[in-house]
Structure 1
C-alpha cells in the first residue's frame, strides 16, 4: 500500500470516529433538550392547573350542593394537582381545600361506622359493634392525617399563626381559605383524639386557632369566626376571657349565619353544647337549624358550606336518634325527636317487603 493510500485510509478512520462522537453528542444534546422542554411544559401546565383550580374549580364546587361529588373529586384529583409541586411551586393554598375536603370524606365514613356500632349495641350485637368501632377509629386516623396535612400547607402559605402577623388578603377567596385552614387544625386534633392514635398534632392548636380568628371579618363570614372562637372558649378550660359568655356569642353568630344563608355557626354551637352535656341546648340548635334551612335557601355563592353544615347537624341528630331508638333521624323530620312527636311514627312493614 502506497503512502498516499495509507494517508486516506487513516483520514477515513478518523472521520468515522468523529462522526460517531458527533452523533453521540447530538443525541445527548437532543435528550437533554427534551428534558428541558418537558420540564417547561410540565411547569406551565402545573401553573395553569393551579390557577384554574383556584379561580374556577373551587368557586364552582362551593356553589354546588352535591357533597358526594365534591368529596369524590377531592380524593381523586388531589394526587394529580399536588404532583405539580414537583415541577413548579407547591400548590399550598389549593392543598388546604383539597385535604380539608378529603378529610371530611374520611370523617363522614367514621360517622357512618359510629352509627353502625351504636345500632349494633342497641340490638345487643357486641361483635358487630366492636368491629364498627374499630373501623370508626381507622377512618378517624385517616381524617386526622388529611386535616393535619391541610394545616401544614396552611402554615406554609400564610405563615404559622403563632409566628406571624395577620396576612394581607388579596381577595375574598384568600380569606376564606385562611378560615378553612384554621378549621382544619381543630379538626385534625379532634380526629386524632377520636382515633386514639398519635400523628403529632400540637395539643395547643385550639388556643392558636382562637387567636388567629381575629384576623377574619366576622360579619363577612356569617359569624363563623366568632362562633369558632366561642366554641374553643366553651371547650377548653380556662380559655374563656373575663366578661365573656361563650354561648351568648354563639347565639349571636347563629343569627348572623341564619340571615346570611350559611349556617356553619350552628355546627360549632352544637359541638359546644355536646361538650357541656347540655342536651336541651343541643336539641334547640338542631331545631333552629331545621327551621332556618326551611325558611331561607342556602347562599348561592357558598352553597356547599351551608350543605356541609346541614350534613353535620344531621349526623349529630342521627346519633341522638340511634342511641335512643336504634335508627336514624326519620327522613324529612330533622328537628324532631322520638319523645316529642305528637303522632307516633307508624312504619308500614308491607312497603319494606
Structure 2
C-alpha cells in the first residue's frame, strides 16, 4: 500500500508540474494571439489614418490661410502619424508634407531671430545681437534636418530623381506632393548653408531639383516649376543652359502665378534677385506681389500655398525695413519702402476762384 500511495503522490506532483507548463503555454498562446490582433488593429488604424490624411486633412489645410494653425498641426501630429510606419507601410507621402511644413515653421523662427539680431546691432547691443544670431543658426539647423527628412521620404516614395524616370502620378495631389518634395530638398540645402553647419545634405540637390521639375506640368502648377528651375539657373554658376535667360523665365512664371492666385514664383524671383544683389529687382518683385494681392484673390484650393508665399515676401520686406529703419514693414504697407517719394498732390489755384 505504501508503494501505491507513493506512486500516486509522485504522479500527482508530475501532473501538477505539467499542468503549470500547460497553463503557461496557454497564456503565451493567448498573449501571442492578442499581439497579433493588436498589430492587425494598429495596421488597419495606420492605413486609415494615412488615407484620411492624404484625401482630406492635407486638402483641408491647403484651403486654409491660417499658417499658425498649420504649423501647430504639423508639429503636434508628426510623431503620431509617422509612428504608424512601425506597424504598416511607411507614410512617405504624408511625411513630405509634414516635414516641409514643420521645417517652414522653424525657418520662420529663424527669420524672427535674424530681425532681433539686426535691431540689436542698430542699437549697438553686441552681446544681444550675437545671441540672436546663435539662435538663428540653431533654428536653421533644425529646419534643415526637417526639410532633409522630407526630401528623403520623397525619394523613398517616388525614387531619387537622378536614378529614376519621372513617376506616373495617380492624381493632382500626388503630383503636388512630388513638387513639395523637390521644394523640401532645395530648402534643406538653403537652411543648411544659413546654419553654417553640416547635416549631410548633398550639395548637388539644387541641380537635381532643377532637372526633376521637368516632370511637372508648369501650366497646371502656376508657373512654379519653371520658376524653381530658373532660380537654380540664376543662383548656381554654370547651371544656366545655353540660350536661356533665367530672369525672363521668372517674369513669365510671375504672370502665371499672379493670374492663378498662387504667387509662389514671386518667392523664387525674390531669392534670385537677392542672390544677384539687385535691390531694384527685389523691390519690384515685392511691389508686384502686393499689387497682385489687391487685384487677384488667392486660389481657394491652394490658399495655404499663396499665404506661405506672402509670408516669405513679407519676411524679405521686413528684413529690408529693419536694416534701414529699425522696424518692420508698416502694417498694411507691403510694397512700399522707407525712401519712396511722396506722391505728388494736386494744388488748387485759388486765383481761379477770384
TM-score (norm 1): 0.95
After TM superposition, the structure 1 = structure 2 runs for residues 146-295 of structure 1, keeping only pairs within 5 Å, are 146-295=146-295
Task: Tell me the equivalent position of 2:71.
Answer: 71
Ranges in structure 2 where 5+ consecutive residues have no aligned partner: 344-354
- For 1:305 and 1:53, the matched residues in 2 are separated by 18
- For 2:8 and 2:117, the matched residues in 1 are separated by 91
- For 2:288 and 2:115, the matched residues in 1 are separated by 23
Q: Deviations over 1:185-209 (max 9, x none)?
A: 1111111111000011111111111
Q: Which runs of 4+ in 1 moved over 4 A?
A: none
- For 1:128 and 1:13, the matched residues in 2 are separated by 79
- For 1:309 and 1:167, the matched residues in 2 are separated by 27
Task: Tell me the equivalent position of 1:313.
Answer: 313
Task: Tell me the equivalent position of 1:95.
Answer: 95
- For 1:133 and 1:3, the matched residues in 2 are separated by 91
- For 1:309 and 1:163, the matched residues in 2 are separated by 31
- For 1:205 and 1:324, the matched residues in 2 are separated by 34
1:116 matched to 2:116: yes
CA-CA distance at 1:297 after TM superposition: 1.1
Deviates more, 1:86-95 or 1:302-311: 86-95
- For 2:282 and 2:326, the matched residues in 1 are separated by 19
Ranges in structure 1 where 5+ consecutive residues have no aligned partner: 344-353
- For 1:161 and 1:57, the matched residues in 2 are separated by 27
CA-CA distance at 1:22 after TM superposition: 1.3
Task: Tell me the equivalent position of 1:141.
Answer: 141
CA-CA distance at 1:124 after TM superposition: 1.5
CA-CA distance at 1:216 after TM superposition: 0.1
Q: Deviations over 1:165-220 (max 9, x none)?
A: 00000010110000010011111111111100001111111111110000000000
Q: Deviations over 1:288-328 (max 9, x none)?
A: 00011111111010000000000000000000000100000
CA-CA distance at 1:130 after TM superposition: 0.8
Secondary structure of the structure 2 residue equivalent to 1:237: coil
- For 2:162 and 2:14, the matched residues in 1 are separated by 70
Deviates more, 1:331-340 or 1:36-45: 36-45
- For 1:310 and 1:328, the matched residues in 2 are separated by 15
- For 1:186 and 1:20, the matched residues in 2 are separated by 63
TM-score (norm 2): 0.95
- For 1:9 and 1:197, the matched residues in 2 are separated by 76
